[in-house]
Amino acid sequence: MKDAEFFERVEKIRQKMYSIAYSYFSSESMAVDMVDDAVYRGYLKKHTLKEPKYFETWLIRILMNVCATAYKKAKKHRSFEEYIVEHEPSAQPTLDKLELKEAISSLPEDLRRIITLKYYADYSTKEIADILKIPMGTVGTRVRKALDLLRIELGGES
C-alpha cells in the first residue's frame, strides 16, 4: 500500500477513531494523541496488512490496543480522573456523563471494547465481530451483558 493511499484511508475513518479514543479518556488531547499513535503504528506496519479491504478493521484494532494500554497505564499510576484533568484541565464533565464514564470504565475490558465500538463509533454487530475477531452471537451476548451491568451500576433495573 502506497503512502498516499494509506493516509487517504485514514482520513475516511479518522472521526470514528477519534470517537473511540475519546470514549476511553473523555479528553480531546488524549483522544488525538491516541489516534495519532495508532496511525503511526499502522503506518509502520502497513506492509503486514494482507487484505486491503480489511484496512479499517485492522487500524481500529490497533487503536483499541493503543487506548487499552494507555488506559491501564493511567489507572495504574494515579486515579483516572487526575490523569484526565492533568491532560485536559478544561474538561468539566457533567455528573451524569461522569457517572456513565465511570460505570463504563468499571466494565471488564472485553465488554468495554464492545460498548465503545457499538455506541461511540457506531459500528454494527457484524463490523464489531470482524474488528474483534469473535462470532456475531458473542457480540450480541456481550452487549446485553454490558448493558445489564451498566444498569445495575447506575442504579436502574436489570
Share of the chain above pLDDT 90, in %: 41
- Assign 105 a pLDDT band (cuts: 50, 70, 90): confident
Domain span holding position 53: 1-92
Q: Are residues 66 and 99 in the same domain?
A: no
pLDDT at 36: 94
How far is residue 19's CA from residue 22's CA, in Å, rounded to a whole number? 5
- Assign 89 a pLDDT band (cuts: 50, 70, 90): very low
How far is residue 65's CA from residue 154's CA, in Å, rounded to a whole number? 27
Provide the residue count of the chain. 158
Q: Are residues 75 and 120 in the same domain?
A: no
Segment 2-10 long-range contacts (CB within 8 Å, at least 24 positions apart): 3/43, 6/42, 6/43, 6/46, 9/55, 9/56, 9/59, 10/39, 10/42, 10/59
Q: 53-79: per-residue pLDDT in tens? A: 999 999 999 999 999 888 877 766 554
Is residue 90's pLDDT more than 80?
no
What CATH number is attached to the domain comprising 28? 1.10.1740
Q: Are residues 80 and 98 in the same domain?
A: no
Q: Are residues 7 and 71 in the same domain?
A: yes
Question: Is the Cα dihedral 5, 10, 11, 16 positive or negative?
Answer: positive
- End residue of a domain, out of 48, 67, 92: 92
